[in-house]
A and B are shown apart, each in its own frame.
Chain A
Amino acid sequence: MSLLTPLFLVALGALAIPIFLHLIQKERRNVVLFPSLMFLKRIPYQSVQRRRIRHWLLLMLRLGALVLIVLAFARPFLRRTDAAAAGGSGAREVVVLLDRSYSMGFGDRWTRALGAARQALEGLGSSDRGSVVLFASSAEVALRSTADSGRLQAALAGIEPSAAATRYGPALKLAGSIVGESALPRREVILISDFQRVGWQGAEGVRLPDGVVLTPVSVADGQSANLAVTPVALQRGFFQDQERVTITSGAINHGDEAVQQAEVSLEVAGRTIQTKRLDVDARGSTSVTFDPLTVSEPNLRATVRLGNDALACDNAFHLVLSPQEPVRLVIAERPGAPRESSLYLSRALAVGESPRFEATLRQADAVSAGDLEASAVVVLNDVPVPPGLADRLQRFVEAGGGLLVVAANRTTWPASVDILPGLPDAPTDRTTGRPARLGALEYGHPVFEIFRAPRSGDFSAAQVYGYRALKPVAGSRVLARYDDGAPALLERRVGNGRVLLWTSSLDLFWNDLALKPVFLPFVHRMVRHLGAYREPRPWRTVGDVVEPHASATPSPTPVQRVVLTPGGQRLPLDEEGADVLELTEQGFYEVRTTGRESEPPVIVASNVDLAESDLTGMDPKEIVAAAMGRAGAAAGADMAPPTDESQESAQRMWWYLLFAAALLLGAETLVANRSAV
């Protein structure tokens, strides 16, 4: 006999109540009415005398009822042994889910996890089948459904924690698919993990098939003290025509005790150049700013490193520093154009810093091949384009360049070169009556995306007095229209490049857009879009997928690339197939082009997901409840040792005790009435 809530036995002290009532019973029965107790109250109380209990039966009935009620609240049950409780028979299909996220490297968690996995596999019978699934942010099957215990044990050999974060959802789904395909009568999933809270984002749609039992095995040791480096922030500036970068990083303390004088160092190209010390409060974070660095060469490897603790992976943060590349462009004017025709355009482009724009002003007939090769974007500012230039621009665009055609009243384009979204037609004069205004904008397009939010730029404030009507060709896209529906900005993809066509001027000749606040961001966005500019990412996170060719120098011919992983492994990338690289390790990846060993490699910094460094645990029952549901829980009752709560709930002895107490109280009422007590 065991009690689920033995503290209720304290209530047995209530047994004194009926005894006391029996003792004082006589005093309560004889009541003498007296005018005033004024004098009697002044006399010390002397009425307590020892009395005898006369109604023993009544007393026993009352005491018995009280004892039964107290016992019922204590919820007694008969504890069954685990062996007797575990029922079921037949062969088992067991899937061992082994967490190999980098947090398993904390202390001896990984050793204990391997031990638990081996123990689970050793428990398989000759007719049982087992699978081993390793998971972190994603899950992979190490060995699928075999009865060969040797292979199962071998599947656990040589594996180490990865650099990825924990996610239980994919692993449970994979386990569910494995056991779902099994025809064995008993199916079980054993989840071995440190059960971090960050790895469980709610149910995630995870639901094991009915009848599958999920058994959690926690290797968490209750310790969550961990110091981790925080992601860095870069601030760029220029000093004496050289770009300088200020790195700000810090440390976050996930423990309950403050850390004093933690050492944070900055390594560049493998050498420690700065070291700082900082104090971090419990459950707090502190930042530190290193002295500015001059960045003169691309792909400079830098690492912010924090002292050592039980979890080493989150003590280093890698990044790649490179000078910021400007967007180079050529602005072509017609010969003899007034000075102010490109004034607003060039002034607007001179303002940009992220990215910087390097604009070169040329007359249309002076645009050389070298200009095109050195530029990412060409702007034709109201230029009558001869066929020769049009041909060169076509090749330029097809190779990936960007072309912006500002089609004011003097623009012509040879019909033989079909790269424009439409051929400019006769000008439309809106100087009489109401001027035209920009109406429908494609806010989903990268050019207008930043103007999507309310009060983020009002294009309708600009007044347009003239524009070139045109008919969009097939394959082009109208990004903006005037209030009469005529296209204002069009785009067309040609080869690897893009062409934008603005049907009015970008000075004050045909409109006053250049005087409006939206002009500068509008021009910037057009050039960035045409130049396919991307913010350089100094670092990435394990699990990201990168396209090395996007970072490398464009090449007209297919090239072979080789990736050198942080672990020293060489991975060839197939140019014709899926040439993407999934980051699985922490450190620096090098991407080299075969045959161009003299070129500097492309460096990709890969960091662990720092959310994983928070070792705060969760209750495994939460995952079990979500994955199994009610039906699963009921089926699992046969397999797993039943809990005290479940045994007590099944036996319901409290109900019988309360019923007996009610019977005793009924008898007490009868006896009391007969004896008139």
Chain B
Amino acid sequence: MTSTSAIPGARFVDPKVLARIGNLELVARSVVDGFINGIHRSPFFGASVDFAEHRGYVPGDDIRRVDWRLYARTDRYYIKEYEADSNSNFSVLLDVSKSMGYGSQGMSKLDYARMLAGCLTYLVHKQRDRVGFVAFDHDIVEHVPASAKHMEVVLHVLDRLVPAGPGSLRAPLHKMAEHFGRRGLLVLVSDLYEEPDAVLEAIGPLRFRGNDLAVFHVLDQAELDFTFTDPSAFEDLESGDQIPIVPDALAEQYRDLVRAHVAGLAERFSANRIDYTLVNTSTPLDHALFSYLSTRERLGRVR
């Protein structure tokens, strides 16, 4: 296990270098370690040891939980009760459709998303929550039920994922909503190539069941900037459709459309109290995670 200190340089580690190592568990830990060391407080940490209330002692209660100080003041036996430990479920919902296999600079969106999922899973596993994993394209491809012992299973499944098949959100997410019985934290990682309203409609059942949803919108730099120059036939990775394109003539319009799409997603997710993070695969993963977790912690305090 590589132990890196919380040095600022960790954020500049190129994800393409990490992909070359190939051991996903190791990569995840090193990144999380470096990240944790820079953060003093985790938004998940210590939330389950808070005092809740006192109640009267009844025979059979553990006398170790008797509040002796209060007995000294009142001459009555009271039992201290705390918030229950929130041993919550955490699952990553990872889009493995063919469009996720795209990568203009060596690392594909799926590789980046796998590292993101591994890091988050490792992070949550460390705080003793139960971890699970679901991979989907137009249907559910892999499903690891949430369990405290499934960390390695999740990493193993992440390692063997291959992008294949056309993608769709609605059908697999609706099917997942049937399986998640307990409320938990769900992280959706996808390139979200659907209309914002359709995306919101697809994750609706998950949200209505009380899950805490976070969405990572993973896009490649080329998808955001459209830096192509030669007139070419562009082929859709999922459908195989081709259209001839002269990039110079339409790059600006394309970027406008993408910006409008991202803005639309952000607006709708915000309105529905869903965390939305746009992730560019050209930025280091630790930076993206830091950005997300810090924002979440800040917003958590506000709440």
Q: What residues make up the interface of A, taking CB atoms closer than 8 Å to B?
A: 24, 26-28, 30-43, 45-49
Determine if B245 and A39 form an interchain contact, defined as CB atoms under 8 angstroms apart. no
Determine if A46 and B249 form an interchain contact, defined as CB atoms under 8 angstroms apart. yes
Question: Measured between C-beta atoms, what is the minimum distance from A23 to chain B in Å?
Answer: 11
Task: Tell whether A47 pairs with B246 under 8 Å between CB atoms, given A27-B231, A28-B233, A35-B191.
Answer: yes
Beyond A39-B257, A46-B249, 8 extra complex contacts between A and B, CB < 8 Å: A27-B233, A30-B230, A30-B231, A31-B232, A35-B237, A36-B237, A43-B254, A45-B244
Task: Tell whether A34 pairs with B236 under 8 Å between CB atoms, given A40-B245, A40-B254, A42-B257.
Answer: yes
Q: What residues make up the interface of B, taking CB atoms closer than 8 Å to A?
A: 99-100, 102, 109, 191, 193-194, 220, 223, 228, 230-239, 241-246, 249-250, 253-254, 257-258, 261
Name A39's contact: one of B100, B191, B220, B258 (CB within 8 Å).
Answer: B258
Question: Measured between C-beta atoms, what is the minimum distance from B303 to chain A in Å?
Answer: 35
Question: Measured between C-beta atoms, what is the minimum distance from B212 to chain A in Å?
Answer: 28
In Å, the complex CA distance between A39 and B225 comes to 13
Name A32's contact: one of B100, B223, B228, B246 (CB within 8 Å).
Answer: B228
Q: List 12 A-B contacts (CB under 8 A).
A: A34-B102, A34-B236, A36-B99, A36-B238, A37-B234, A37-B239, A37-B241, A38-B193, A43-B254, A47-B243, A47-B244, A47-B246
Name A31's contact: one of B191, B223, B233, B257 (CB within 8 Å).
Answer: B233
In Å, the complex CA distance between A36 and B257 comes to 13
In Å, the complex CA distance between A36 and B191 comes to 10
Residues on B with beta carbons closer than 8 Å to the beta carbon of A36 = 99, 191, 193, 236-238
Determine if A34 and B237 form an interchain contact, defined as CB atoms under 8 angstroms apart. yes
Residues on B with beta carbons closer than 8 Å to the beta carbon of A32 = 228, 232-235, 245
Residues on B with beta carbons closer than 8 Å to the beta carbon of A39 = 254, 257-258, 261
Determine if B102 and A37 form an interchain contact, defined as CB atoms under 8 angstroms apart. no
Q: Which residue of A lies closest to B261 (CB)?
A: A39
In Å, the complex CA distance between A40 and B234 comes to 9
Residues on A with beta carbons closer than 8 Å to the beta carbon of B230 = 30
Interface centre among A27, A36, A43 (most CB of B within 10 A): A36
Determine if B231 and A31 form an interchain contact, defined as CB atoms under 8 angstroms apart. no
In Å, the complex CA distance between A492 and B150 comes to 122
Name A35's contact: one of B193, B228, B233, B243 (CB within 8 Å).
Answer: B193
In Å, the complex CA distance between A39 and B234 comes to 12
In Å, the complex CA distance between A30 and B242 comes to 11
Q: 10 shortest A-B CB distances, which residue pairs?
A: A35-B99, A47-B244, A30-B232, A36-B193, A39-B257, A35-B102, A27-B244, A37-B236, A32-B232, A46-B249
Question: Measured between C-beta atoms, what is the minimum distance from A415 to chain B in Å?
Answer: 115
Determine if A34 and B250 form an interchain contact, defined as CB atoms under 8 angstroms apart. no
Q: Which residue of A lies closest to B220 (CB)?
A: A35
Interface centre among A28, A31, A32 (most CB of B within 10 A): A32
In Å, the complex CA distance between A37 and B223 comes to 11
In Å, the complex CA distance between A65 and B289 comes to 64
In Å, the complex CA distance between A31 and B235 comes to 7
Determine if B235 and A33 form an interchain contact, defined as CB atoms under 8 angstroms apart. yes
In Å, the complex CA distance between A34 and B247 comes to 13
Determine if A49 and B99 form an interchain contact, defined as CB atoms under 8 angstroms apart. no
Determine if A34 and B235 form an interchain contact, defined as CB atoms under 8 angstroms apart. yes
In Å, the complex CA distance between A42 and B254 comes to 9
Determine if B250 and A46 form an interchain contact, defined as CB atoms under 8 angstroms apart. yes
Question: Measured between C-beta atoms, what is the minimum distance from B6 to chain A in Å?
Answer: 35
In Å, the complex CA distance between A24 and B102 comes to 27
Residues on A with beta carbons closer than 8 Å to the beta carbon of B99 = 35-36
Name B223's contact: one of A24, A35, A41, A47 (CB within 8 Å).
Answer: A35
Q: Which residue of A lies closest to B219 (CB)?
A: A35
Question: Measured between C-beta atoms, what is the minimum distance from B278 to chain A in Å?
Answer: 15
In Å, the complex CA distance between A90 and B232 comes to 77
Question: Measured between C-beta atoms, what is the minimum distance from A25 to chain B in Å?
Answer: 11
Question: Measured between C-beta atoms, what is the minimum distance from B119 to chain A in Å?
Answer: 23
Residues on B with beta carbons closer than 8 Å to the beta carbon of A38 = 193-194
Task: Tell whether A40 pairs with B102 under 8 Å between CB atoms, given A27-B233, A46-B250.
Answer: no
Question: Measured between C-beta atoms, what is the minimum distance from B65 to chain A in Å?
Answer: 57
Question: Measured between C-beta atoms, what is the minimum distance from B238 to chain A in Å?
Answer: 7
Task: Tell whether A49 pairs with B246 under 8 Å between CB atoms, given A33-B102, A35-B102, A42-B257.
Answer: yes
Q: Which residue of A lies closest to B223 (CB)?
A: A35
Residues on B with beta carbons closer than 8 Å to the beta carbon of A48 = 244
Determine if B237 and A43 form an interchain contact, defined as CB atoms under 8 angstroms apart. no
In Å, the complex CA distance between A38 and B237 comes to 11
Interface centre among B99, B194, B220 (most CB of A within 10 A): B99
In Å, the complex CA distance between A28 and B233 comes to 6
Question: Measured between C-beta atoms, what is the minimum distance from A29 to chain B in Å?
Answer: 8
In Å, the complex CA distance between A24 and B242 comes to 13
Name B253's contact: one of A24, A26, A28, A43 (CB within 8 Å).
Answer: A43
Residues on B with beta carbons closer than 8 Å to the beta carbon of A35 = 99-100, 102, 109, 191, 193, 220, 223, 236-238
Determine if B246 and A46 form an interchain contact, defined as CB atoms under 8 angstroms apart. yes
In Å, the complex CA distance between A45 and B109 comes to 28
Question: Measured between C-beta atoms, what is the minimum distance from A154 to chain B in Å?
Answer: 87
Residues on A with beta carbons closer than 8 Å to the beta carbon of B261 = 39
Residues on A with beta carbons closer than 8 Å to the beta carbon of B239 = 37
Task: Tell whether A26 pairs with B243 under 8 Å between CB atoms, given A35-B237, A36-B238, A40-B250.
Answer: no
Determine if B246 and A31 form an interchain contact, defined as CB atoms under 8 angstroms apart. no
In Å, the complex CA distance between A82 and B250 comes to 69
In Å, the complex CA distance between A24 and B244 comes to 10
Residues on B with beta carbons closer than 8 Å to the beta carbon of A37 = 234, 236, 239, 241, 243
In Å, the complex CA distance between A42 and B236 comes to 14
Residues on B with beta carbons closer than 8 Å to the beta carbon of A43 = 250, 253-254, 257
Residues on A with beta carbons closer than 8 Å to the beta carbon of B246 = 46-47, 49
In Å, the complex CA distance between A651 and B177 comes to 79
In Å, the complex CA distance between A32 and B246 comes to 12
Residues on B with beta carbons closer than 8 Å to the beta carbon of A33 = 102, 235, 237
Q: Which residue of B lies closest to A47 (CB)?
A: B244
In Å, the complex CA distance between A31 and B237 comes to 11
Q: Which residue of B lies closest to A27 (CB)?
A: B244
In Å, the complex CA distance between A27 and B247 comes to 13
Question: Measured between C-beta atoms, what is the minimum distance from B261 to chain A in Å?
Answer: 7
Determine if A34 and B234 form an interchain contact, defined as CB atoms under 8 angstroms apart. yes
In Å, the complex CA distance between A46 and B248 comes to 10
Question: Measured between C-beta atoms, what is the minimum distance from B236 to chain A in Å?
Answer: 4
In Å, the complex CA distance between A604 and B254 comes to 104
Residues on A with beta carbons closer than 8 Å to the beta carbon of B243 = 37, 40-41, 45, 47
Question: Measured between C-beta atoms, what is the minimum distance from B52 to chain A in Å?
Answer: 49
Residues on A with beta carbons closer than 8 Å to the beta carbon of B254 = 39-40, 43
Residues on B with beta carbons closer than 8 Å to the beta carbon of A26 = 231
In Å, the complex CA distance between A32 and B228 comes to 9
Q: Which residue of A lies closest to B99 (CB)?
A: A35
Question: Measured between C-beta atoms, what is the minimum distance from A278 to chain B in Å?
Answer: 73
Q: Which residue of A lies closest to B98 (CB)?
A: A35
Residues on B with beta carbons closer than 8 Å to the beta carbon of A49 = 231, 246
In Å, the complex CA distance between A26 and B230 comes to 11
In Å, the complex CA distance between A40 and B245 comes to 8
Q: Which residue of A lies closest to B248 (CB)?
A: A46
Interface centre among B100, B102, B245 (most CB of A within 10 A): B245
Residues on B with beta carbons closer than 8 Å to the beta carbon of A30 = 230-233
Question: Measured between C-beta atoms, what is the minimum distance from B230 to chain A in Å?
Answer: 6
Residues on B with beta carbons closer than 8 Å to the beta carbon of A42 = 257
Task: Tell whether A47 pairs with B102 under 8 Å between CB atoms, given A27-B244, A39-B254, A42-B257.
Answer: no
In Å, the complex CA distance between A47 and B191 comes to 27
Q: Which residue of A lies closest to B249 (CB)?
A: A46
Question: Measured between C-beta atoms, what is the minimum distance from B217 to chain A in Å?
Answer: 13
Determine if A47 and B245 form an interchain contact, defined as CB atoms under 8 angstroms apart. yes
Residues on B with beta carbons closer than 8 Å to the beta carbon of A24 = 244
Residues on A with beta carbons closer than 8 Å to the beta carbon of B109 = 35
